[in-house]
Chains A and B, each alone.
Chain A
Amino acid sequence: MRVDLQPALVLHRRAWRDTSFIVEAFTREHGRVGLAAKGARRAKSRWRGLLEPFSRLDLSWAGTGELYTLRDINYVTRYTLAGNTLMGGLYASELIMRLTARDDPHPPLFDTFEALLQTMAGGAPAIVALRFFERDLLEELGYGLTLTHDALDAPIEADARYRYEPESGVWPMATVASNEPSVAGATLIDLAEGRLTQRARLREARDLLQAALAPHLGSKPLKSVATLKAMQQFADTRQPLPRTDDH
C-alpha cells in the first residue's frame, strides 16, 4: 500500500531502536496508523522535531502489515497546548488510541479532533471543549447519546431530571434521592445544542459523558485522567500546605 500526503494528526510517538520513532498518527482517510519513522531521532534528521503530538502534518507512507514505513512529511502546523489544554489534548489522544482500531477510518472524528485542538490552542477552556469532543466521539463510534428524547421517546424537558442507563439512554425521574446521580434536562439540551456555560451543568455533563464512555474503556483506567485529577487537587488547594512530615 502506498499513501501520499494524507492529512494526519500525531497522537503519540515513542523511541524505537537507536535512531527511530514509532508514530501513532490519526489520519483523515485511513484512521489510526502505526508508522516507523526511520532515522527521525538522528541529530541531523530533516524530520527532527516534526513528529511531536498535536502536530498537523501531511504524511506519505508505504508498506504492509501492522507498521508502515513513513516516507515523507509535509509540515502544516502544530497546535501548541499548555496548562489544562495540554492535559486535555493528551486525554483526547488517549481516548482515540483506546477506542479506535488501526486502519479503521473515521473522517468526521478526524475533523472533530482537529477542531478540538484548534479550539484549545486558541485558548478556549478545555473543560467545555472536551465535553463536545466526547459527545461527538461517542456518536462517531456508534455509541451516541440520544440527547433530545428520553428512553420512552418523550422530548427532554429542561426542568425535569433524568437518570442515565448505558444500554437504554436517559429515563425521567419522578423523585430524586439526594445521593442518586441524575442529570437535568437543561444539561442534556445544552449538550445537544453545543452551549455549556453554567458550572453545575458542566459538571453534570462531565459525569454523564464519563458514565457513557466507561463501558467502552474497559477496566484499565485512563492515565491522563488520573494525572489531571492529581493536578486539580493541587489547584484546589489554594493555600500552600504547612510543611510537615506527614505526606
Chain B
Amino acid sequence: MAFSPALARLIDAFRVLPGVGAKSAQRMAFHLLQGERAGGAKLATALAEAVEHIQHCQRCRMFTESDYCEICRNERRDATRVCVVESPADVMALEQNTDFRGHYFVLMGRLSPIDGIGPEELGLNILRARLADGPVEELILAVGATVEGEATAQYVAELAERYGASVTRIAQGVPVGGELEYVDAGTLSQAFSGRRPL
C-alpha cells in the first residue's frame, strides 16, 4: 500500500537524520501522528526556528543565534587561552568535564585532503584573524588521535607559531580506571612514548 503524499514526505524527511533508515523513519512518523501531535507541532516549530536562526559564532564558529556565542561574550572567561576542537559536541564535553575557562575554536571537521577538506573548509582563516588580533598566549589542541587529527594539529600549530602563540596538545594515554593489559596496542605505545616525570 502506498502512503498518502503528506505521510510519504514526512517519512522521507526523517531519513536525513543519522542512523535513521526507512523502517525507523516510518516508526517515528506513525508515533507522532498517533499520540504525539502536540509534540510533533513543537518539534516542527523548534526545527523551523533552529534552521532559520542558528548560525556560526563569528569568533569561534560554535552554533549560536547571535553574532557571538555565549562563551565568546562572557567577559569573565580568559580570551588569551583558546582551545581548538573538532565539533560542538567536543565543546560540551570539555565544558562539563574540565575546569577550562578560556575560549574555543570549533573546526566543524578536521583536515582530510582525500575528502576535499582543506584549511578553508575548516574556517582556519577565521582562526588566523583571531591570532592576528591577539593576544592569544596559549592555543590548546584538543583534536582526535587520528591521522587527520594529527594533520590538523600540525597545521594549526604552524599557524599559531607564526603569530607567537604557544601551542599545547592534550595528552593521550591510558584511560582512567583502565588496566594496562586491556589497553589496545596503539594507545599503549603512545602512552609509553608520551610518559612524563612525576
Contacts and interface: CB of A to CB of B under 8 A. Distances in A.
Given A49-B187, A243-B133, A94 B18 contact: no
Interface string B13-35: 00000110000000000000000
A240 B164 contact: yes
A96 to B, nearest CB: 10
A223 B118 contact: yes
A234 B161 contact: yes
Interface residues of A, number: 41
B150 A82 contact: yes
A197 B137 CA distance: 39
B128 to A, nearest CB: 6
B184 A49 contact: yes
B132 A244 contact: yes
A74 interface: no
Nearest to B19: A18
B119 A230 contact: yes
B45 interface: no
A94 B114 contact: yes
Interface string A206-247: 000000000000000011101100110011010011011111
A90 B18 contact: no
A97 interface: yes
B147 A240 contact: no
A42 interface: no
A52 B162 contact: no
Given A223-B117, A231-B155, A78 B186 contact: yes
B23 to A, nearest CB: 14
A33 to B, nearest CB: 15
B119 A227 contact: yes
Contact of A234 (B132, B162, B184): B162
A81 B147 CA distance: 9
Nearest to A14: B115
Interface string B156-192: 0011011110000000000000000000111100000
A87 interface: yes
B147 A53 contact: yes
A44 to B, nearest CB: 11
Interface residues of B, number: 34
A54 B147 contact: yes
A18 B113 contact: no
A222 B113 contact: yes
A63 to B, nearest CB: 20
A12 interface: yes
A223 B151 contact: no
A86 B186 contact: no
B146 interface: yes
B80 interface: no
A230 B184 CA distance: 35
A74 B162 CA distance: 42
A195 interface: no
Given A54-B147, A86-B151, A234-B162, 14 more contacts: A12-B114, A14-B115, A18-B18, A52-B186, A90-B113, A91-B113, A93-B114, A231-B155, A234-B158, A234-B159, A240-B161, A240-B164, A243-B134, A243-B135
16 contacts: A11-B114, A17-B19, A49-B184, A49-B187, A52-B147, A75-B185, A94-B113, A223-B113, A223-B117, A230-B118, A230-B119, A235-B158, A240-B162, A241-B132, A243-B132, A245-B133
